[in-house]
Structure 1
Amino acid sequence: MRTLVQGGLVIDTAPEVVVRPETDVLIEDGRIVAVGPGLSALGAEVIDARGRIVLPGFVDTHRHVWQAALRGIGTEGDLGYYFDHVMQARGTRYRPSDVAASNLVGALECLDGGITTVQDYSHVQGSVEFAEAAVDALDRSGIRAVYGFGPSPLVGGTVDADAMRHVADLASPRITIAVASTGPAYAPFDVVSADWALAASLGLSVVTHIDRSEVTQTPIALLEKAGLLRPTTLYVHCNNLSDDELRLIADSGASVSIAPAVEARLEMGPAVAVRLKSLGVPLALGIDTVTSAPGDMFSLMRQILALGYNSFTAAEVLQLATIAGAQALNLPDVGSLAVGNQADLILLRTTDLNLAGGLTDPVATVVTSAHPGNVETVLVGGTIVKQNGHLVSTPLESALTDLATSTTHLFA
Structure 2
Amino acid sequence: MSRPTEPVSGRPVVLRGGTLLPMDRERRVLTDTDVLVVDDRIAAVGPQLDVPEGTFEIDAAGGIVMPGMIDTHRHMWQTVMRGYGADWTLTQYFVWYYLEHGTAFRPQDIHAGNLLAAAEALDAGVTTVVDWSHGLQTPDHADAAVDALQSVPGRFVLAYGNIQQAPAEWTGAPEFRDFVRRRITGDDMLGFQLAFDVTGDPAFPERPAFEAARELGVSVTTHAGVWGATNDDGIRLMHEHGFMTPGTVYVHASTLSADSYHRIAATGGSVSVSTESEQSAGQGYPTTWAIRSHDIPVSLSMDTSVWWSGDLFSAMRTTLGADRAREHLEAHAENRTVTHCSLRADQVVEWATRGGARALGREHDLGSVEVGKKADLVLLKNDRSPVSFPLLNPYGHVVFQAQRGDVHTVVVNGTVVKHEHRLLGVDLAAVRHEVEQTVEHLRSVMGEEEWRKGMNPDIPETKVLDNPYTYTDYRSATTHGR
Q: TM (normalized to structure 2)?
A: 0.81
Measured in 1, the distance between the counterparts of 2:398 and 2:384 equals 12
Q: CA deviation at 1:47?
A: 2.2
Q: Which amino acid aligns with 2:221?
A: V
1:206 maps to amino acid: V
Deviation for aligned residue 1:283: 1.1
Structure 2 equivalent of residue 124 of structure 1 = 135
* Worse overlay, 163-172 or 379-388: 163-172
User: Share of identical aligned residues, percent?
Assistant: 35
1:146 aligns with 157
Q: Is this contact kept in 2: 1:352–1:374, CA < 8 A? A: no
1:130 aligned partner, one-letter code: H
**Amino acid corresponding to residue 101 of structure 2 in structure 1:** R
Partner of 1:178: 193
Q: Quick check: 1:9 aligned with 2:19?
A: yes
State the match for 1:392 in structure 2.
Answer: 424
2:64 is equivalent to residue 53 of structure 1: yes
Superposed displacement of residue 354, structure 1: 4.9
Q: Provide the rounded CA distance (Å) in 2 between the counterparts of 1:101 and 1:253.
A: 36
User: How much does 1:342 deviate?
Assistant: 0.9
Output the CA distance in 2 between the equivalents of 1:278 and 1:90. Answer: 40
Which amino acid in the other structure matches residue 71 of structure 2?
A: D
Counterpart contact for 1:218–1:241, Cα < 8 Å: no
Tell me the residue number matched to 1:114: 125
- Equivalents in 2 of 1:215, 1:261: separation in Å? 19
Q: 1:410 aligned to 2:442?
A: yes
* 1:258 alignment counterpart: 273
Equivalent of 2:290 in 275, 278, 281: 275
SS at the partner of 2:120? helix
Q: Which of 66, 72, 85 is the equivalent residue of 1:74?
A: 85
Q: Is the 8 A contact 2:261 2:291 kept in 1?
A: yes
Partner of 1:138, secondary structure, is helix
The answer to whether the 8 Å contact 1:51/1:349 transfers is: yes
Q: Distance in 2 between matches of 1:19 and 1:404?
A: 44
> How far apart, CA to CA, are the structure 2 residues paired with 1:231 and 1:372?
32
Gaps spanning 5+ residues in structure 1: where?
Answer: none
Partner deviation per Cα, 1:343-367 (whole Å, 9 max, x = no partner)? 0011111534353334111111111
| Per-residue deviation, 1:106 | 0.6
The alpha-carbon distance between structure 1 residues 214 and 395, as it changes in their structure 2 partners (threshold 3 A), is: closer
Partners of 2:200 and 2:236 in 1: CA distance: 15
User: Which one has the bigger strand percentage?
Assistant: 1
Retained in 2: the 8 A contact 1:325–1:335?
Answer: yes
The match for 1:328 is 359
Give the structure 2 partner of residue 93 of structure 1.
104
2:381 partner letter = R
Residue aligned with 2:205, SS: helix
RMSD over aligned CA atoms reads 1.8
8 Å Cα contact 2:27-2:346 kept in structure 1: yes
Query: By how many angstroms is 1:25 displaced?
Result: 0.9
- Structure 1 distance, partners of 2:94, 2:295, is 32
1:227 aligned residue:
242
**What are the Cα deviations for residues 272-293 of structure 1, in whole angstroms up to 9, with x where unaligned?**
1111111111111110011121
State the Cα distance separating 1:81 from its structure 2 match: 0.6
CA displacement 1:364-409 (0-9 Å, x = unmatched)? 1111010000001111001111111111122111111111111111
Q: C-alpha distance in 2, partners of 1:328/1:125?
A: 23
More divergent stretch after superposition (103-112 vs 270-279): 270-279
Q: 2:252 aligns with which of 234, 237, 248?
A: 237
Q: Counterpart of 1:160 in 2: which secondary structure?
A: helix
Equivalents in 2 of 1:221, 1:295: separation in Å?
Answer: 33
- Contact residue 382 and residue 407 of structure 2 kept, 8 A: no
Shift of 1:253: 0.7
Give the AA of the match of 2:346. A
Which stretch of the first structure deviates more once superposed, 215-224 or 109-118?
215-224
Q: After superposition, where does 1:185-224 map in structure 2 within 5 Å?
A: 185=199, 189-211=203-225, 217-224=232-239
Task: Say whether the 8 Å CA contact 1:58–1:297 is kept in structure 2.
Answer: yes
Q: Say yes or no: does 1:292 pair with 2:303.
A: no
Contact 1:73 / 1:86 at 8 angstroms: preserved in 2? no
Q: Distance in 2 between matches of 1:36 and 1:340?
A: 14
Aligned to 2:345: 314
Name the counterpart of 1:248. Answer: 263
Conserved 8 A contact 1:69-1:407? yes
After TM superposition, give the deviation of residue 85 of structure 1 in Å.
Answer: 2.7
Aligned runs of 1:150-161 on 2, under 5 Å?
150-152=161-163, 154-158=164-168, 159-161=170-172
Q: Secondary structure at the residue paired with 1:18?
A: coil
Q: CA deviation at 1:88?
A: 4.0
3-state SS, counterpart of residue 167 of structure 2:
coil
Contact 1:156-1:187 at 8 Å conserved across structures: no
Write the letter of the residue equivalent to 2:400: T
Count of matched residue pairs:
410
Please, which of 34, 45, 49 is the counterpart of residue 35 of structure 1?
Answer: 45
Q: Which residue of the partner structure matches residue 359 of structure 1?
A: 391
CA positional deviation for 1:89: 4.1
